[in-house]
Structure 1
Amino acid sequence: MRRALLVSVVAVVAVAAAVAGLFAYFADKALSDQAEKEKECCWAEGATPEWMSKVIGVRVPESAEDRRVGYKIGTRYDTGLLAFTLSSEEAGEYLVALNPGGAVTIDNLHPRPKDYKPDAPFARLGLPEPETIVKGMRLGGLCPGDVDSPEGRDTNHCVDIFAHEFKPGTTRIYLRSTIEPGVSPLPSPITSGS
């Protein structure tokens, strides 16, 4: 009798564990699929470097070339992306003006793996993810009130700054800002999947 009861209990526990495992698997898959869909969804069309510069409150030098921009509408927060190139000398001056309280940009000592895909990727702009680059990459950041230079005096949101000297004498500046939802007005209606 005890043996039959023990076998029954073991069977019930095994079935419960299997059901819980299946539930966890399918729940995780659904969340993962949703996260992947969200990475491809909800990019605002019509965002310009000038508009993004005003939204995040960081000045882009007039001499900046190859300006690229993206604005992703998220469920918890929006993300603004802005990238441009400068001569390495001008990039150095620009970064000094954005360093809060005498801080300096640092080397990327802990790069992300090459397959790293943030929620709002610079790959959308045809660029590599700056977090994956080591050689020639510098990292920094600022938040509202951190600097009093024309470059960042009007900063509205915290900004991650990446500077990559991708060829001798030319540096690409990457700016990524997390923004509270509801920035208004958006440049144009959002698109799904574009």
Structure 2
Amino acid sequence: MDAPAPAPDTALAVQPWPGPLQFSSEGMLVLGLQLQSSAKGEARAQARLAVRHALTQAMATLLHHPPASIHIDNRRGHAPQISIAGSHGPAPQCSFAYADRYALAALKLHGAIGVDLMPVIDIPDWQAVARDYLGPQVCARLQALPASQRAAALAQEWCRLEAQLKCRGVALAEWREECRADARHAPLILPQAAMAGHVAWR
């Protein structure tokens, strides 16, 4: 039988941008950026540029590199890649997430990272979603919750799944026992109560 998935670490606070930033003991940070407009449709491209610019400025300050030396690949449909001119060794890794007028950028100095974000909403067919993608244990936990708590718990579980998939660099697929995530993970403390977020790293 497979080992159980790792338990979540202590919740990690999202650090607002602009503002002072610091790395966690794991060598990572998650910064949050308020967007000018909802990250949908044509505004998504502006949101992608805005959050990448914020992360570039943050790295320039924290890693003591000029901003012009830092490049974050912006190809849609591909995991973002960081390159730093004149730097030796593996580059940090990053991940991005967007929901409504808010965006997250997660950075890890050594190793993979994934982050996800979504609004807390009621999903009428939540049981089918949980069964197909989150697995029987999560489905049972959600079923046992009071209805008033279920939407927030489901959003957090979905963000956990998506963050772990991004961390592993794999696409969303229906749940299978042999595909349990093995990355460490933690819920995010967000400024908006109606949002859920999660970060995963290896």
Q: Do they superpose with TM above 0.5?
A: no
TM-score by length of 1: 0.30
Q: TM-score, normalised by structure 2?
A: 0.29
Rg larger for: 1
